[in-house]
Amino acid sequence: MKINDLIKNLNADIINIADVDREIVGGYCGDFLSVVMGKAPESAGWFTIMNNQNVAAVATLTDVGVIILCDGVKPDPLLDKKVRDVDINCITTSLSVFDAVKKSGL
């Protein structure tokens, strides 16, 4: 799925889009970073409520397709800066993780 379709489905706000054409494949839900590191597939949509800068490091190293901050969570100032600096996809939605997954269409 293209990220624009995901944004529509989740009625999401954009924090940073690095690559509009990136194909998002499947997803993973989790807040413990080492669990996500070990299990999130490449190019996945990562649904989380964790919003600090370490999220960007994990997303970069595991090459997930997009960070989806759920439940109305906004990135803290350092994450906000970092997703732009390292230029990775990050969006936010007011939906809960559960509803976001259901509506994502992933």
Partner 1 sequence: MSEALHLEFEVAGNNFVSAGGASDEVKKTLKMLGVSTASIRKVAIAMYEGEINMVIHAGGGRAIVDIYRDRIVIVLQDNGPGIPDIDLALTEGYSTATDSIRDLGFGAGMGLPNMKKYTDEFKIESEVGKGTTVTMVVNFV
Size of the site for partner 1 (CB under 8 A): 20
Task: Determine how β-strand 66-69 pairs with β-strand 45-48.
Answer: parallel
Q: How far is the CB of 104 from partner 1 (least distance, A)?
A: 22
| Range in contact with partner 1 (rule: CB under 8 A) among 6-14, 16-24, 37-45, 93-101 | 37-45
Q: How far is the CB of 105 from partner 1 (least distance, A)?
A: 26
CA distance 74 to 51: 7
Contact between 43 and partner 1 per CB under 8 A: no
Q: Which amino acid is at 76?
A: D
- In this chain, which of 33, 73, 80, 103 binds partner 1, going by CB under 8 A? 33
Cα 17 to the center of its chain, rounded Å: 11
Closest by CA to 30, choosing from 6, 5, 54, 9, is 54
Binding mask 50-69 for partner 1 (x = CB under 8 A): x-xxxx-xx-xxxx------
Closest by CA to 46, choosing from 26, 23, 61, 20, is 26
Q: What residue ranges bind partner 1 (CB under 8 A)?
A: 31-35, 37-38, 42, 50, 52-55, 57-58, 60-63, 78
